[in-house]
Amino acid sequence: MLWALLALFVLYPLGAMFARIFRDDTGFGIAGALATLADANQVRAFWNSLLLGTLVGVLGTVAGFVFAFSAARTKLPRWMATAIDAAVLLPLVSPPFTAAIAMIFSFGPRGLITYELLGIKGFTVYGLGSTLFSEALTYFPIAYLTLRPILAAIDSNIEGMALSLGASRWRVFRTVTLPLCIPGIANAFLLLFAASLADFATPLILAGNSFPVLPTQAYLQITGLFDLRGGAVLSFALLVPALAVFALQRYWVSRRSYVTVTGKGAGQAPFDSAAPSVRALLLAACAALTLAIVYLYALLLYASVVVALGANHALTAQHYKVIFTEGLKAIRDTLIIAGCAMPLGGLYGILLGYLVAKRNFPGRGAMELVSMVNYALPGTIVGIAYLIAFNDPPVELTGTALIIVACYVFRYGPTGIRATVALLQQIDRSLEEASQGLGASSSTTFRRVTLPLILPAFFAGLGVVFIRSMTAISATIFLVSIGWTLITVKILDNMTELSLGPAAAFSVLVVAIVFAVMAAISWMLSLLRAPGAAPVPSLLGG
């Protein structure tokens, strides 16, 4: 049953896409595909994508490391740690192009800073610089979440030891702390690289014509030129670096971790790894970045309640009126789709995670790998593959809500799988044996012991699927239709039509809904959690 679903929603679309890429009128061949790729503009887009990914990876990892190091290894006051966590959370829970929109508000043709403040006319925000900044800002939380537990898990006694052997703080950092983090840093870089490679909306808004990247080119090829095959070929070019990153991450980085991250804290107060001056510098950097994030989001909120940012700053509820009338269908559709995808994705995650971690059956490894495919691939590829596969019989789903729901479930459900597997690995075998020894059958043991213990993974899966269903765009922009549309797509439409007010209002609404649902899920989790039990892994980890 699960295999059938995986085959239909993971393997079949990819296969259909490959078939489309390699088949031309004369039969199978790669000549047609090569011709599309040889186009100078597309070659440029390919290198641009790699360049952007690399820069975003470096910049985002540095920012993430600074945040993580400050939070984990300098004795921060509690309120500052909370502020950092909140600042990091914002980009994570908003649509990926929110920062891009705020950038336009700030530095665009009528931008608050460039036009209003500095009086510069004709300043172009579009290009590599702003795309890079915007993506780095959006994705650095991933680096932060990857690096913080690693930094926190490094035993301070190791640093203390190096210090007592006569090394300076800087030397300790250089020769002990940093080397221990190298696998984590590599991992963070790869994650950011992959995220940037797959990001499609930010470049669409900010990169402009001068800086084409692959995902946007693929999108334009399909929506502009109705060239499905060309789009498929372009997104296929994306597949190569994406798979390379995935393979590197899975088979190289994962074997080189020195620090085992367990739920157990070290117990002692963290060793103050930074000299006071360095600490001040770090804090200043964190504060600056935090302020930048807060500023961008505040701006978004402001833009949603004034008539026209940069021109008329009179307060108005007009934009909200628009989104709740004209935009109401998108809101309703999005909520329905997210509401359907959420339980299905959570269930899928916990079920597959349990099977993979606890049951021994032929093809188990293959099943785990296949289940991760849609998660690992850039959204553009998944979207185009679904579009190609489900456009025609035998499985015609284009235009339905089902295609979007399926896309979300199989693309974001794997977070739940990972969380379930991770939790199950933490549960000692003796717990199930204890239940068995007390006379419980294996089904009772599952129901009364195993299930309650992996419930947090279920909720983590729910949370991620919901958040992504509210905020994702790269895959589903290919799948929306007259019948079913999404808020994120609507925002993008508004951006291209330059109706910035409603775009801002939509963005604020999404962030608000996501926060509300996350709060609800956290509350449920706290109800489930036994007092004194280990904290549940972060909703967004991984």
Residue ranges in contact with other proteins by CB under 8 A = 428, 430-431, 433-442, 444, 448-449, 452-453, 528, 530-534
Pick 82 or 426: Cβ nearer other proteins:
426
Q: Which has the closest alpha carbon to 408: 499, 455, 510, 339?
A: 339
Nearer to other proteins, 119 or 531 (CB): 531
Query: Of 90 and 455, which has the nearer Cβ to other proteins?
Result: 455
Give the shortest CB-525-to-other proteins separation in angstroms. Answer: 12
Q: Which residue has the tokens 């109705």?
A: 226
- Between 342 and 423, whose beta carbon lies closer to other proteins? 423
Closest to other proteins by CB, 74 or 450: 450
Q: Distance of CA 342 to CAs 117, 201, 334, 468, 482, Å?
A: 44, 23, 12, 10, 23
What is the rounded CA–CA span in Å between residue 307 and residue 312?
6
137/54 Cα distance (integer angstroms)? 14
Q: How far is the CB of 536 from other proteins (least distance, A)?
A: 12
The nearer residue to other proteins, 145 or 536, going by C-beta atoms, is 536
Q: What is the smallest separation between the CB atom of 430 and other proteins, expressed in angstroms?
A: 4
Helix 379-389 to helix 228-247 angle (10° resolution) is: 140
Q: Which of 413, 420, 418 is nearest to 457 (CA)?
A: 420
Close Cβ partners of 520 (under 8 Å, ≥ 6 residues apart): none
Pick between residue 327 and residue 353 the one whose CB is nearest to other proteins: 353
Give the span between the Cα atoms of 295 and 299, in whole angstroms.
6
Least separation in angstroms between residue 428's CB and other proteins is 6
Q: How far is the CB of 440 from other proteins (least distance, A)?
A: 5
The nearer residue to other proteins, 288 or 431, going by C-beta atoms, is: 431
The whole-angstrom separation of Cα 474 and Cα 71 is 32
| Tokens (6 digits) for 164 | 């007592």
Q: Please answer whether residues 424 and 353 qualify as being in contact, where contact means their C-beta atoms are separated by less than 8 angstroms.
A: yes
- Residue 308 DSSP label: E
> What's the min distance (Å) between Cβ of 426 and other proteins?
10
Count H helices, E strands: the chain? 24, 4
Count the residues in the chain: 542
Minimum CB distance to other proteins, residue 443 (Å): 11
Distance in Å, CB of 527 to other proteins, minimum: 12
